[in-house]
A and B are shown apart, each in its own frame.
Chain A
Amino acid sequence: MVIIEATDLVHSYEFEGSQNRSIDGVTLHIEQGEWLVILGRNGSGKTTFAKHINALLPVQGGELNVARLDARDPANIWEIRRHCGMVFQDPNNQFVSSVIEEDIAFGLENYDTPAGEIPARVERALAIVGMDGFEKKSPHMLSGGQKQRIAIAGVLAIDPQIILFDEATSMLDPEGRQEVLSTIHKLHAEEGKTIVMITHLVEEATLADRVAVFSQGKLLGVSSPREVLSNLDLLHNAGLTPPLPIRAYYDLQKEGVTLPCCPLTHQELVEALCPSK
């Protein structure tokens, strides 16, 4: 079942007297329970697209339905945001309280959740992101990865069907990035959430069910990670560099070594080079 349905979506902004299109006729359908990565360079329009899904930007042209709600209708804005949570790049700019449980309760309070229900929902959200026991702590005492997991719990407490991650790992160190990616994997696999992940890190695209490539406001292509990431022309047109295993595959091919298949991950590359292991 399609949960996000964008048809010929357009968004323009005025810059130095002329109209520029940050989203230019994007048609993209996302299935419920799917993990979609939106890949693109800075300024490719991927964040603008995500902000439309969360109803943070009004639809200027085209159609957009999120969780069967028409995003063009201003009356649906708050219901769309209840169904679709969003995690941003810098966790420090997402906290409204210096006590974790209060911060996670923020979204629930905005939707006038009965006060008696709030503690249990906060506890559950923290347990899902593996941060139980941190209720009374301050987010400022945590590592980058832990802070981002708290930000995810803040969104998760509202129990949205869709979670958007807008470059949510780009400010983290490798360990923090891994923590957040594992959490996203858990939300997708165990909680059945629809994940839309905005990133410019091509390696992260390997985790998804499908990858959509944006460039200059246009959707250049959408397919499986293997098809997208091994399509050098597509990545080149989007100004992206393929992941190391794919670069190695093509470099080896130039040197006359042909591997049985194009490896997507480091592990696949090792297996392709040493099939006996």
Chain B
Amino acid sequence: MNRLPTGMYLPGDSPIHRLDPRVKLLGLFISVTAIILVRPLIGYGVILAFLAFTVALSGLSIKIALNSVQRLSWFFLVIFMMNTFFYSPENAWFSWWIFTPSSAGLMQGVDVVLRVVFALVASNVITSSTAPMEITNALEALISPFKLVGIPAEQIAMILSIAIQFIPTFSEETEMIRKAQTARGARFDSKKLTEKAAAVLPLVVPIFLSAFKRADELSIAMEARGYRSASGRTRKKFAPLKVDDYFALLIVIAICILQILIR
């Protein structure tokens, strides 16, 4: 394995690791809401300070917190460029063909990229400090009220857990197929965007085929181990929330309210 898979659980005993998984998941949801609501510069400062504090408290390295950000650098560049060149034709620096770069567009590009980076860091901290089955159980607990309107909470939680578990497998497999295609002349290192896109296509078909095969084998293996449906299985009983959990929840709610007030 070349790189650490995105969002992989890293066991630890930090205050973030010890928080109740329901609080972590709810906290993530509220944090992302706060990130969406952020407006003035001071708002970004508050979110940045909060995330830096959370990463430090979790004992995770900056590299792990920024793991997926690095992988998505191309995506960020495209988003940034699109905003800069297409956002606003008014007060454009110049106008050429369909391009109208402007300061407003540049600021919008920075704004969008920063929000996505913040949201990714927040989710990385949660997935790296919470065991997948804990996330599954917490998600199930949080969405269980929706069972009343027919939403299959247990099944959704199980699907999520399996999806998380297969991330490293598919990442290794993609790397293997990429190497095999490189050996047959595919050019993934090309600087040309068209060549890059063309080279990605032959990766997609084998990865999809493999995904279907694996899904089939996994379903048989799950049945062999007695899986019938998500209901009727041993349920994890959560311990009551502790003072730390309430405190953590209060902090994220306060940050979210602050973002609303300073908008």
Contact = CB atoms under 8 A, between A and B. Distances in A.
B225 A155 contact: yes
Interface of A: 54, 56, 78, 81-82, 85-86, 88, 90, 92-99, 102, 105-115, 118, 136-138, 140, 154-155, 158
A224 to B, nearest CB: 29
Most B CB contacts (10 A, CB to CB) among A85, A105, A106 go to A106
Nearest to B227: A110
A136 B10 CA distance: 9
Contacts of A98: 8-9, 132, 164-165, 167-168
Nearest to A141: B1
A158 B226 contact: yes
Nearest to A117: B234
Contacts of B41: none
A99 B220 contact: no
10 contacts: A56-B220, A78-B226, A94-B218, A94-B221, A98-B168, A105-B133, A115-B236, A137-B11, A138-B9, A140-B5
A163 to B, nearest CB: 11
B9 to A, nearest CB: 6
A115 B226 contact: no
A56 B218 CA distance: 13
A68 B233 CA distance: 25
A90 B165 CA distance: 15
Contact of B8 (A95, A107, A110, A138): A138
Contact of B217 (A82, A90, A138): A90
A95 B165 contact: yes
A97 B221 contact: no
Contact of A97 (B8, B133, B223, B228): B133
Interface string B203-234: 00000000000100110111111111000111
Contacts of A108: 234
A115 B220 CA distance: 25
A138 B168 contact: yes
Given A93-B217, A96-B162, A112 B225 contact: no
B249 to A, nearest CB: 25
Contacts of B235: 115
Contact of B161 (A81, A96, A155): A96
Interface string B7-21: 011010000000000
B263 interface: no
Which one of A98, A99, A154, A158 has the highest number of Cβ atoms from chain B below 10 Å of its Cβ?
A: A98
Given A96-B162, A138-B8, A138-B9, A86 B234 contact: no
Most buried by A among B5, B131, B133, B228: B133
Contacts of A109: 233-234
Contacts of A105: 133, 234
A92 B214 contact: yes
Given A56-B220, A98-B8, 20 more contacts: A81-B223, A88-B217, A92-B169, A93-B221, A94-B217, A97-B133, A97-B165, A98-B165, A99-B131, A99-B133, A106-B222, A107-B225, A108-B234, A110-B228, A111-B226, A115-B236, A115-B237, A137-B11, A138-B168, A155-B225
Nearest to A113: B234
B132 A99 contact: yes
Contacts of B9: 98-99, 138
Contacts of A115: 234-237
A99 B9 CA distance: 8
Contacts of A94: 217-218, 221
A106 B11 contact: no
B225 A56 contact: no
Contacts of A88: 217, 220-221, 224
A87 to B, nearest CB: 9
Interface string B152-164: 0000000001101
Contact of B168 (A56, A110, A137, A140): A140
Contact of A154 (B8, B161, B223, B225): B225
B239 to A, nearest CB: 12
A115 B233 CA distance: 10
A107 B233 CA distance: 9
A106 B225 contact: yes
Contact of A112 (B5, B164, B165, B232): B232
B218 A96 contact: yes
Contacts of B232: 112
B165 A78 contact: no
Contacts of A110: 225-228, 233
Nearest to B169: A92
A121 to B, nearest CB: 11
Nearest to B131: A99
Contacts of A102: 131-133
A179 B221 CA distance: 21
A137 B172 CA distance: 18
